Structure 1
């Protein structure tokens, strides 16, 4: 019998905190709805991510909660208790999240038994991170879902919904853009993951001059200066930060884009979920951590000849993201643009290109 019975009436799924991880967890939501079709499924997310996941057909209710602060654990436990779930599936790895679940009094608490938190769960799946390097985050979530829900296979396709409201917000944000456009996403949560702004500008200028596409530059409010630097180097580009883009509008923008060129950060996963072609740049973060099966993407690594037994995270100097030449990115972008405009469609996997790496590209199920 699976830890979460198929007769469960109320299921709470505690979602990851990072935007990209949250999107990579959407196959778990689909699996839960398929396994327990009559259950009321409630998703617990960080504020803002409820807007990102709005319209998801697998969840009945989203609860947005900021768990930070001294009282964060108690506040989280109180919110969970009010849901009165029969069972809860814990996706975050944090001890605090497991503690809040225990304090909530939820009868069935399933998650990974790691980082000394196994005693807080009623059902813990063993995980030795020293022997599991690297494992794709998507596969990591699917393993937990298969075990906890008692299913043998799960569709690994990511899911995001774009509403008409999102599309209207995107149209307003993209005012003045009438033809095809490419999105550049130069930000990232760590400086080491950010390809230089001037290199993004080189790529933007080349694609604009050679192919007549408009360049749209995205970033979070905290990445305002990076976005401004890229826009300064690309004539007639659009600065989405200055236009106040929201997550909902960003979904609509990326849905319409010809191509997204990005560092390994959240908007990559938005594009992947929406079937928009991608060129993704990896520095000292191994791409095998975030393998996404079945999507249209060219991965470019700082060291495409890194031996399989090495992990990019462990050799940051060798895998410094600034080592990626702009010419490789332009080549990859033009290859994708040529295939899209030739009518090959979106959302299909791509073959390897010069300077590109497809490590860990096997399909998870």
Structure 2
């Protein structure tokens, strides 16, 4: 049987790269003898390489407004690979032209997975995919919409959703996670936290996180695993200063590689995160995860796995499709609408399911 060589591209953030990869499960069903290459931003090459079903990662150094010659160069190099099928998960101008220069015979756009319409780029695709079955992307998680669009392309009526997953953790990464948890003496659940994002409008205040942490310690004898990067330390320090039980915190900020973070998620009992890539990493790692949403739609951006939960105040002016975006909004209703009691109720539901 001839091998089908497939090129995927998605110059997106890590959460999008993971959830959009849900198309791979369908591709493997219909092309069992396939080799899948995934072009992503160079900073996401390692996470992309850990997605189940990805055979090769092609790192791309993306500079907005620059690098036109690189597009031509990469396109010509891709032409040497002899791809049978090219799929754009986020069909921007650059990747559209790359596949055109690469002369990939079948070029598919998936822009409509989230309701968007292509401009001039659609003329450089052999097909701009659309849903052939009734489907409202506003009521489905992003990974489900990508997968449904892919199934519709094949005329596949299956209703099964196969969530994206990360490859099993290596023993050295599990050992690194165990070393970080070595000081954990609490008997209750190990709860992993992500308390800051690069978008301040997705924040939840330090005093709320502090109160949630104390409640978890007092009610469940929980250990609190704080993850993130070094720049998140001021936020963590602010949380600790407001807590009655800061000794229950296991500080891993800046101490994990990406594979070790995934292993840490697999050692944790559950995760509580803001609306950021950590949500999708945890879901793909198999860690039950609760996401606190401010202005984005939880129906779309909730983690793509069986055990995921979301909390949102559902402020009428929030949500991907009506929000004027936080930078244009003088209010703080999105964050204020998510109360401590709302999050506690969701955490109890999550812990009871374990």
TM > 0.5 fold call: yes
Structure 2 residue 12 is matched with structure 1 residue 24 = no
Cα displacement (A) at 1:185 = 0.9
Contact 1:12/1:89, CA 8 A, preserved across alignment: yes
Question: Separation in 2 of the partners of 1:277 and 1:149?
Answer: 32
Match of 2:257 in 1: 246
Q: Residues 150 and 7 of structure 1: is their aligned pair in 2 closer, same or farther, counting only changes over 3 Å?
A: farther
- Residue in structure 1 matching 2:211, options 202, 221, 237: 202
How many angstroms does 1:146 deviate by?
Answer: 1.9
Structure 1 position 142 matched with structure 2 position 151: no
- Report the secondary structure of 2:58's partner residue: strand
Q: Displacement of 1:319 after TM fit?
A: 4.7
Report deviation, 1:255: 1.3
- Listed as ranges, the matches of 1:1-365 within 5 Å are 9-68=4-63, 70-71=66-67, 72-74=70-72, 76-112=74-110, 114-116=117-119, 117-126=121-130, 136-153=141-158, 155-164=161-170, 165-179=172-186, 180-234=189-243, 235-236=246-247, 237-242=249-254, 244-292=255-303, 295-303=306-314, 306=316, 313=323, 317=331, 319-337=333-351, 339-340=352-353, 345=354
Q: CA RMSD in A?
A: 3.1
Q: What per-residue deviation string (whole Å, max 9, x for no partner) do you get for residues 42-64 of structure 1?
A: 12222343322445442322222
How far apart are the structure 2 equivalents of 1:303 and 1:57? 34
Q: Distance in 2 between matches of 1:66 and 1:148?
A: 31
Structure 1 residue 118, shift from structure 2 partner: 0.2
- The number of aligned residues is 330
Structure 1 residue matching 2:168: 3-state secondary structure: coil
Give the secondary structure class of the aligned counterpart of 2:7: strand
Matches of 2:300 and 2:285, distance apart in 1: 20
Asked whether the equivalents of residues 90 and 98 of structure 1 are also in contact (C-alpha less than 8 Å), the reply is: yes
> For residues 165-201 of structure 1, what are the alpha-carbon distances to aligned partners after superposition, in whole Å with 9 as ceiling and x for unaligned?
3312322333423554211111224211111122112
**Whole-angstrom CA distance in 2 between matches of 1:228 and 1:97:** 42
Is the helix fraction higher in 1 or 2?
2
Q: TM-score when scaled to structure 2?
A: 0.81
- The CA deviation at 1:123 is 2.0
2:296–2:320 CA contact under 8 A, matched in 1: no
Whole-Å Cα distance in 1 between the matches of residues 343 and 130 of structure 2?
40
> Given the two structures, how large is their TM-score scaled by the length of structure 1?
0.78
Secondary structure of the residue aligned to 1:202 is: helix
Is contact 1:312–1:319 with CA below 8 Å preserved after alignment? no
- Report the Cα offset of residue 89 of structure 1: 1.1
Q: Please, which runs of 5 or more residues in structure 2 have no aligned partner?
A: 112-116
C-alpha displacement of 1:297: 3.1
Which residues of structure 1 form unaligned runs of 5+?
A: 1-5, 346-365
Mapped contact 2:270–2:289 kept (Cα < 8 A) = yes
Seen in structure 2, the aligned counterparts of structure 1 residues 312 and 283 have a Cα distance that, compared at 3 Å, is farther
